[in-house]
Amino acid sequence: MKKSVRDAMIDAAATLIGQRGVSASGMQDIVVEAAAPRGSIYHHFPGGKDELVIAALTRVGEVVESAIAYAAAKSASADSFVVAVAALFRAGAEQNGWSEGCPVAATAIEGDRQSPAVREAIVAIFRAWQGAIARGLSRHDRADPDFEALMLIGAIEGGLLLARGLRSAEPYDAAIALLRRGLGDAASAVTGMEAVNASQ
């Protein structure tokens, strides 16, 4: 099924933002990437660039959140869930030769150069991901799933940034491996404390 012009522009915006950031992705660049008519910008996005950016980030956020929920339902352990979530982000970046990062993080890095509405959208997306990951971890009786979810997002986004700079999967895989080790140590510590408490 052929994409609508609006959908094509949203997808094009997400791609360009992941590659260049928001500031370096002009509306005309997005129109060209989407192969859309030049006069279609303000027809589909009367609110201008901010409206398009928010639509693109929101779509990415929703797709990732759904994929996280699917991974949670299929994972047999907290570790396998973490591996599955990390693989979601790794696959797209590796497919593009580590030339394209996460559009949400790319926008967040620009900070105050973006409007309050765009910054609020970023907060909402990151919190939605944190919530989805925390719910997945909660299925495996983690002691602090919200904190661990935030750790995972930090490891993923930091790993992607370094991997993109080095054009190599090595820093990404190292960040995830270190996180998995830390989560394993935390689980062991919790189990040990439970054993101590039970013996008292």
pLDDT in tens, the chain (200 residues): 678 999 999 999 999 999 999 999 999 999 999 999 888 888 999 999 999 999 999 999 999 999 999 999 999 999 999 999 999 999 989 998 898 999 999 999 999 999 999 999 999 999 999 999 999 999 998 989 999 999 999 999 999 999 999 999 999 999 999 999 988 765 554 443 343 344 34
Residue 168 covered by a domain: yes
- What's the CATH code of the domain at 65? 1.10.357.10
- pLDDT value of position 180: 92
Q: How far is CA 80 from CA 51, 83, 86, 166, 189, in A?
A: 37, 5, 10, 27, 19
- pLDDT value of position 185: 64
Residue 52 covered by a domain: no
- pLDDT value of position 198: 46
Residue 175 covered by a domain: yes
What is the residue range of 114's domain?
Answer: 60-199
- pLDDT value of position 1: 63
- pLDDT value of position 200: 43
Number of independent structural domains in the chain: 1
Residue 174 covered by a domain: yes
Which structure tokens are listed for 41? 């910008």
Residue 124 covered by a domain: yes
Reported as type and span, the H/E element at residue 79 is helix 78-95
Residue 105 covered by a domain: yes
